[in-house]
Structure 1
Amino acid sequence: MKTDTWTFAAALRRDNLHLVGKLVVVTALMFGFGYALVPLYRAICTALGVNVLSLSERAHAVRAEDVKNTQIDYSRSIEIEFDANSRGPWEFSPATKHLTVHPGELTTVMYEFRNVQNRTMSAQAIPSYAPKQATAHFNKLECFCFNEYTLQPGESKRWQVVFVIDPKLPKDVKTITLSYTFFEVAGKGVKKTAAVPPSSHSLKGSAS
């Protein structure tokens, strides 16, 4: 009886280790896939000869005339949360973490970026939205995500995002998170210069 119990326990441990191993592999593959998305986007842009990222964002852009003709829905308040992620050794953050807006209300927020490296770099931001159903209703008139930017060593920038929430946003959506991931454009901006102390530069306050 003890032998049977020991055999069963050993088999159970072996199965558990097998399962853990599979989960580790799946987790590693998912992480690798997520990390590879940015280079994949870049490869598509290079192959097509267009900036796919900018085009997809411009598809959600609206005109100032359209905003003027939109009535503000003061009966609803939407909480907007702003987030920033950096894919590289630089500083990137929203000047405002969150604010409350009304659908149809034109709003401007700022994002701050600083190249802390000792070389020139070119970079671009990819936005994402949560929940997903808010994506089509988060309309931007102006956004730094439309373009690539080249920054000198130690150079700082302040970029504005001008947006309006479509009043047709589903009633059950009360909070929207706008998150930007800023990544370096491969093969550009490789010129090196003398190191720049982090404390020797401040934000210039210029919008691009």
Structure 2
Amino acid sequence: MTQQHPGPAGRKNALNKQMLGKLLVVAVMMFGFGYALVPVYRMICDLTGINLLTPKDSMVGDIKNTQVDKSRTITVEFDANAHGPWRFRPTVASVQVHPGEMAQVVYEVVNTQSRSMDAQAIPSYAPQQATAHFKKMECFCFKQQTLGPNEAKQMPVVFYIDPALPRDVKTITLSYTFFEVGGAGKKAS
């Protein structure tokens, strides 16, 4: 019997089928590897404590801000000055915070006029070296405020003191000057 050798087309088909088989095996292995990575990744994250996006309810009370310096306390005093027809004051005279700890205070302002007014608050700090370490996350001083006739507003200030504050600073005074922007006090050109 004579043995027939496949022609070039037959050899090409056989090589194509062999390559397709290899590619299918590689694709299945890649899918399996990707599928297996999810539980492996979770196990590694659980063991190392990284990628903790949503802590379990039992852990929530255990999470602490490690940036808070509990070894010292800073007294932050609040002051208010009004240039214009306002009643403007902080709701508390002072608070004590640890550096790195978030705190919130509220300032109250009342427009004593029978017209709407636009106003802006400008902060100042004492001692001057504390300015760079007083970090405000939310503040009414970031933008102009519009108050309607005889309107009263409570405006929050959310802040923290940078732990890099020099250790000799024990008291910081935050003072705001609230003044009218434009309006009746504006000079005609």
TM over 0.5: yes
Mapping of 1:146-157 within 5 angstroms? 146-157=142-153
Q: Who is 1:176 aligned against?
A: 172
Q: Is residue 167 from structure 1 mapped to residue 144 from structure 2 by the alignment?
A: no
Q: Is residue 125 from structure 1 mapped to residue 160 from structure 2 by the alignment?
A: no
- Displacement of 1:186 in angstroms is 1.4
After superposition, the C-alpha distances for 1:22-52 in whole angstroms (9 at most, x for unaligned) are xxxxxxxxxxxxxxxxxxxxxxxxxxxxxxx
Separation (CA, whole Å) in 2 of partners of 1:80 and 1:184 = 26
The one-letter amino acid paired with 1:147 is K
Is 2:117–2:183's contact at 8 Å kept on the other side of the alignment?
A: no
Q: Who is 1:113 aligned against?
A: 109
The one-letter amino acid paired with 2:182 is A
Q: Who is 2:86 aligned against?
A: 90
Which structure: larger Rg?
2
Higher share in strand:
2
Identity %: 65
Structure 2 residue runs without a partner (length 5+): 1-63
Separation (CA, whole Å) in 1 of partners of 2:185 and 2:153 = 16
Separation (CA, whole Å) in 1 of partners of 2:78 and 2:147 = 23
Q: What's the TM-score once normalised by structure 1's chain length? A: 0.57
After superposition, the C-alpha distances for 1:150-191 in whole angstroms (9 at most, x for unaligned) are 11111010000000000000011000000000000014899x
Structure 1 residues 188 and 148, CA, compared in 2 at 3 Å: closer, same or farther? farther
1:91 partner SS: strand
Structure 1's consecutive aligned runs of 4 or more residues displaced over 3 angstroms after TM superposition are 187-190
1:136 partner SS: helix
Separation (CA, whole Å) in 1 of partners of 2:116 and 2:185 = 5
1:73 partner SS: coil
The one-letter amino acid paired with 1:154 is N
Q: Who is 2:99 aligned against?
A: 103
- Displacement of 1:141 in angstroms is 0.4
The one-letter amino acid paired with 1:148 is Q
Q: Who is 1:193 aligned against?
A: none
